[in-house]
Structure 1
Amino acid sequence: MAVVFLGGPFKALVDADGVMRPDERARLESIIAGLESAGHTVYNAHRREGWGAKFLTPAECTRLDLDEITASDVFVAFPGSPASPGTHIEIGWASALGKPVVLLLEEGVEYAFLVRGLHTVTNVTYLTLAPGEDPTERVVAVVST
């Protein structure tokens, strides 16, 4: 079984009351549940930080994210549209560490050149998602192979 770091936009999806957009939270929770049901271990900052209710300090979350990505076997992320700066840093760490990367891209959305070309420097699986698609089964299948 694999250890997975699941990343994606965070601060931009949390309102002033510390509540993450329900649809985004549900999508992440579905992927986490699917991976854990398949026997994988999942690191996820969203869950760790109470879905926005318990944000850590910049120093705390930066160190934890890097440590958890380092300890992971595979990195899975939504790069974000607009681009999530934190997620893009995590993508860079994962690729520099030689981790297999799975990027979840929304159909019809334009992504940064370095995201689209990342496969030229590291092992990347791109999963293109239809609007509203739950990627859980596809993510579990890729991670489980």
Structure 2
Amino acid sequence: MSQHKKLFLAGPFKSLVNRKTGVMDHYEKQKLMQLISYFEDKGFAVHNAHKREGWGKDFMTPHECTAIDFAEISACDLFVAFPGSPPSPGTHIEIGWASALQKPIILLLEEGKDYAFLIQGLESMAPVTYMYYQEEADYLTKLEEMNL
């Protein structure tokens, strides 16, 4: 039996949950589902809080999700994140954990958006690959070129 590589996929969550429906809007959910499928097809076991918590329907308590996310980041082989613009506080904490643990990091940054200086300079402290994109096809092409 082959051992899966582990990937943690992070990004803004609570700010993207529609207050009326209680779940993430379709576009944002599809973006994450597309990446989950992409990495699973590459042999990764993907951990993603959005999917784990029913896209907003089944939020865990702060203590539960914090412990699980830290454990999953500690165990991952690759950390991938949309930092958010405006910044996602939870995602920035996860990026901090991944960088402190010296995990390989891929940050997906939308062109023309403003990102925190500590995100922009993170490559001086951790193994970070920045992927700038205008649309999803851009980062999918760049990921393919990396031969993960």
TM-score, normalised by the number of residues in structure 2: 0.92
Structure 1 counterpart of 2:76, from 46, 50, 72: 72
Pairwise CA distance, 1:133: 2.7
Q: Residues 39-89 of structure 1: CA distance to partner in whole angstroms, max 9, x if unpaired?
A: 111000000000001000000000010000001011100000110000000
The equivalent residue for 1:10 is 13
Alignment of 1:1-145 (within 5 A): 1-16=4-19, 17-130=21-134, 132-134=135-137, 135-139=139-143, 141-142=145-146, 144=148
For residues 89 and 96 of structure 1, the distance between their equivalents in structure 2, rounded to whole angstroms, comes to: 10
TM-score, normalised by the number of residues in structure 1: 0.93
| Unmatched runs of 5 consecutive residues or more in structure 1 | none
Moved over 6 A (4+): none
Pairwise CA distance, 1:138: 2.9
For residues 109 and 48 of structure 2, the distance between their equivalents in structure 1, rounded to whole angstroms, comes to: 18
| Unmatched runs of 5 consecutive residues or more in structure 2 | none
Pairwise CA distance, 1:136: 3.2
For residues 5 and 140 of structure 1, do their structure 2 counterparts lie closer, same or farther at Cα, with a shift above 3 Å needed?
farther
Pairwise CA distance, 1:140: 5.1
Higher relative contact order (CA 8 A, sep 6+): 1
